[in-house]
């Protein structure tokens, strides 16, 4: 608080702020002015968003209010960065509501973190990472993801233990307790109210949603259940927070898919844009452009978040995450019983992991369509790290929903396929197949990811060495692969289904 500083300290910090503002202003066109993430066709993950991008150069030439709005937004971003730098220099990083007793040695209670969906691909490594960093972790999961494996006739390529065996192994290896509760947060509201009321968490990390775009498009029943499960679950949590822990921090795993692809002339912002409506300038949530029922539920989640922040001043962070790649994290690698799940089927397998499996086992590597789709990516270990960073930097009461683009880099799909072809120990070849999705065949993608960068996040980036590690891991478990599930079985419409079923799949050739 300003009132606690001495006058001399206050004067010094004001001077520091002025220096930072001047420095940021003069470096606006330099490479560190606005770190963004762009396609790695140039093999550079972070390049200036103003002077080097053709799309933004075109935008800057527009001699109208749009250009003035963009320049105003840039000035506001520079000011925000200067303020954030000054706050960190004086106060250090924000901490979660309870001080981490193990890392700080203060004797205060450790932060209590509920990890909803903590048995899943992102939830399990996040739960371990938070526990390792001093959080008291409670995993809540209805095991739906395991049941969907049975429904689809598939399984994790890695042999995952039961939740009870997992937490017992973590206790044995680390000496730290993680509690597991089997419960459906989209079930009766009273169950969620009782859960939140009992544990009174400081952080609620929400992974507990049906997360696969293809699965959400598979049948009419899948579409209905994705909407029901995802929206009711989120709303139950919000109501329970308001009733029992209005000071808690909700961290929701969203998706970059809310923005759509190829819809913006320039870099995708972090959640908000400045617009002119008549003569009035205002800041609004960036327009939604979802590409599936799953992505649509994430947009609707954000609508709910904005209402509860406006009406009740809840504290919420929404993380728009890119496609996750990788399997292991420093915590899951400590014991085979802690191994993370690895989905490689066409419904739940993420594109890079799917290509890695095809490469490792000598199958055809099969991009959809032209393979010209450019997507944002993040390593699974960075998912967990970003969640922890978010717990340490909650919004204040009354502050808008924090939206972070949780991405490290972007890649064109066919470039990933070619890289995996080169790494294949079995001589895999890239073979394009019809696209089961309704999406643009080619797109560029530039994404601003300044918020996590401002907290010192240094992400893991994909290179040939990391890709080789992924392939080597998959080879260990090749006997568990169910090959038929690599073929697309979910389609965005009749047109896509007819195109895919007419073409003989090369996977089984």
Active-site residue set: 255, 294, 298
CB-side neighbour CA atoms (13 Å) of 309: 21
All residues at 6 or more sequence positions from 422 whose CB lies less than 8 Å from its CB, including other chains: 464
**Which of 474, 198, 494 is closest to 340 using CA atoms?**
474
CB-side neighbour CA atoms (13 Å) of 96: 34
**Which of 374, 347, 363 is closest to 474 using CA atoms?**
363
Please give the DSSP secondary-structure letter assigned to residue 437.
S
Torsion of Cα atoms, 228 then 231 then 237 then 239, to 10°: -100
252/246 Cα distance (integer angstroms)? 16
Instruction: For the beta carbon of residue 169, count every other beta carbon within 10 angstroms.
Output: 17
Based on its alpha-carbon atoms, the radius of gyration of the chain, rounded to whole angstroms, reads: 23
84/19 Cα distance (integer angstroms)? 14
491/494 Cα distance (integer angstroms)? 7
Check: CB of residue 384 under 8 Å from CB of residue 340. Answer: no
279/133 Cα distance (integer angstroms)? 49
120/114 Cα distance (integer angstroms)? 14
All residues at 6 or more sequence positions from 209 whose CB lies less than 8 Å from its CB, including other chains: 117, 229, 230, 233, 234, 253, 297, 298
Residue by residue, what is the 3-state secondary structure of 336-380? HHHCCCCCCCCCCCCHHHHHHHHHHHCCCECCECCCECEEEEEEH
What is the CA angle 129-132-135, rounded to 5?
A: 90
**Which of 131, 64, 182, 509 is closest to 338 using CA atoms?**
131
Please give the DSSP secondary-structure letter assigned to residue 28.
T
**Which of 271, 438, 237 is closest to 229 using CA atoms?**
237
315/456 Cα distance (integer angstroms)? 22
Q: Which long-range contacts (CB under 8 A, 24 or more apart) does 18-26 make?
A: 20/82, 20/85, 20/86, 21/78, 21/79, 21/82, 24/78, 24/81, 24/82, 25/78
């Amino acid at each position: 608080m300003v009132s606690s500083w001495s006058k001399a300290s206050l004067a010094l910090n004001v001077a520091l702020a002025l220096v930072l503002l001047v420095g940021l202003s003069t470096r606006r066109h330099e490479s560190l002015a606005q770190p963004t993430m762009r396609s790695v066709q140039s093999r550079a993950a972070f390049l200036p968003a103003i002077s080097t991008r053709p799309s933004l150069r075109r935008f800057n030439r527009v001699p109208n209010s749009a250009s003035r709005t963009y320049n105003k937004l840039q000035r506001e971003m520079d000011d925000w960065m200067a303020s954030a730098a000054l706050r960190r220099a004086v106060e250090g990083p924000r901490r979660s509501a309870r001080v981490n007793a193990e890392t700080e040695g203060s004797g205060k209670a450790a932060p209590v973190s509920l990890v909803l969906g903590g048995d899943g691909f992102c939830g399990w490594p996040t739960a371990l990472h938070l526990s390792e960093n001093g959080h008291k972790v409670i995993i809540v999961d209805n095991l739906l993801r395991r049941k969907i494996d049975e429904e689809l006739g598939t399984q994790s390529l890695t042999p995952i233990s039961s939740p009870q065996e997992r937490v017992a192994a973590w206790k044995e290896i680390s000496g730290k307790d993680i509690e597991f509760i089997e419960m459906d947060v989209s079930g009766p509201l009273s169950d969620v109210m009782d859960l939140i009321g009992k544990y009174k968490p400081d952080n609620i990390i929400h992974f507990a949603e049906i997360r696969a775009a293809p699965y959400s498009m598979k049948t009419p029943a899948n579409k209905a259940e994705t909407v029901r499960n995802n929206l009711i679950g989120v709303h139950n949590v919000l109501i329970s927070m308001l009733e029992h822990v209005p000071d808690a921090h909700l961290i929701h795993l969203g998706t970059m898919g809310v923005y759509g692809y190829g819809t913006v002339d320039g870099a995708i912002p972090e959640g908000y844009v400045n617009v002119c409506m008549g003569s009035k300038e205002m800041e609004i949530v960036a327009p939604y452009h979802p590409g599936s029922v799953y992505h649509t539920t994430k947009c609707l989640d954000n609508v709910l978040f904005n209402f509860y922040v406006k009406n009740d001043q809840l504290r919420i962070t929404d993380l728009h995450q890119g496609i996750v790649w990788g399997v292991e994290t420093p915590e899951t690698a400590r014991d085979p019983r802690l191994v993370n799940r690895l989905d490689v089927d066409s419904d739940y397998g993420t594109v890079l992991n799917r290509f890695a499996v095809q490469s490792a086992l000598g199958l055809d590597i099969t991009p959809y369509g032209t393979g010209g789709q450019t997507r944002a990516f993040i390593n699974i270990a960075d998912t967990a790290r970003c969640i922890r960073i978010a717990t340490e930097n909650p919004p204040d009461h009354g502050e808008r929903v924090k939206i972070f683009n949780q991405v490290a880099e972007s890649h064109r799909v066919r470039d990933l396929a070619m890289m995996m072809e080169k790494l294949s120990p079995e001589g895999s070849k890239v073979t394009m197949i019809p696209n089961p999705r309704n999406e643009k065949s080619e797109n560029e993608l530039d994404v601003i990811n300044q918020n996590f960068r401002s907290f010192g996040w240094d992400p893991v980036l994909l290179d040939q060495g990391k890709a080789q590690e992924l392939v080597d891991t998959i080879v260990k478990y090749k006997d568990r692969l169910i090959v038929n599930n690599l073929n697309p079985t979910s389609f965005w419409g009749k047109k896509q289904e007819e195109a895919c079923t007419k073409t003989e799949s090369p996977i089984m050739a």
